[in-house]
Amino acid sequence: SQEKMKFLVIFALFIAFSNASVVFQNEWEEWKTLYGKVYRAEEELKRQYIWLENLKYVTQHNLEADEGKHTYKVDTNQFADLSNDEWRELMTSQVTRPTNQMSFCNMTFMTVGDHVIAPKNVDWRKEGYVTPVKDQKQCGSCWAFSTTGSLEGQHFKKTGKLVSLSEQNLVDCSMKEGNHGCQGGLMDLGFEYIFDNGGIDTESSYPYMAKNEPQCMYKRSNSGATLTGCVDIKRGSESALMKAVADVGPISVAIDAGHKSFQMYKSGVYYEPSCSSVKLDHGVLAVGFGADNGEDFWLVKNSWGPIWGMEGYIMMSRNRDNNCGIATQASYPLV
């Protein structure tokens, strides 16, 4: 009878849903174990709901990537229990230089015309210029990691010694230059502080605490590197950035990283059509460039630990109209 048929359909759906619930519950428990997540009882349901929404997004995106609609994959990574708003609040910060603010860097790196002669690919990690991936944790200090990254590279270029430099030193001590510690800052202002201060501590002598400490603990005797000035790359020019990365070494860059696609990035060449090239909220380090399956990319070192992305790195699209503003506010120190 029709009634019986209806009952069987509902029963089958109930069984399927129950099995799906068990599968999702198991996945959720595995994910929590993997990333060491523990919640209070009242928080657990909210986090699981957000995680399921993100899982849905990841599954959909990766199916589309398999169909050739995207050039990169995403994953339920350590940020999968955060909504995009929560995550932006936590992990990104204002790194856009106001247009009326003069840069401390008094030179601009330009190219003559747009036809740059540079190698097909560059990876400064292979030449010893780049320290292991670091983790800014829940502090908007990305700008400090970008600052140390480019100075670590230039210091290595000059001395042959790769010294890990102190982000905490910048977080605690560069307020006078206009930085705001865990609440954001600019790489150029980081360079300015190191110049004014006559140096920056080493990572080992001034370790990272992921919070604003009440006082500056810089000690000149522990200085790991100095700089004499810095250079801004011609605004918005990917060809100038390419030449700088090829000739100079790792370059500090600011990007728009505020999208769910970036939050969940796993691998492949990242292209985000809704990215801004002027509203920049994350400081990172361009350590090379190349092409992957015919897609030009910038090789970018992030500061969210080695479990995010490609062991802490992302390939960001190159020669696609300055996507995410990677060439908008790039600079490097002079050593």
Catalytic residue IDs: 142, 282, 302
Q: Which two tokens stand for residue 90?
A: 């936590």
Helix 41-66 to helix 2-35 angle (10° resolution) is 100
Report the distance separating Cα 250 and Cα 125, nearest Å: 9
Secondary structure of residue 275 in the 3-state scheme: coil
- Distance (Å, whole) CA 234 – CA 125: 24
150-to-122, 171, 292, 309, 311 alpha-carbon distances in Å: 15, 16, 24, 21, 19
CA gap 289, 298 in Å, rounded: 4
Residues 83, 316 contacting (CB under 8 angstroms): no
**Helix (H, G, I), strand (E, B), or coil: what is residue 122?**
strand
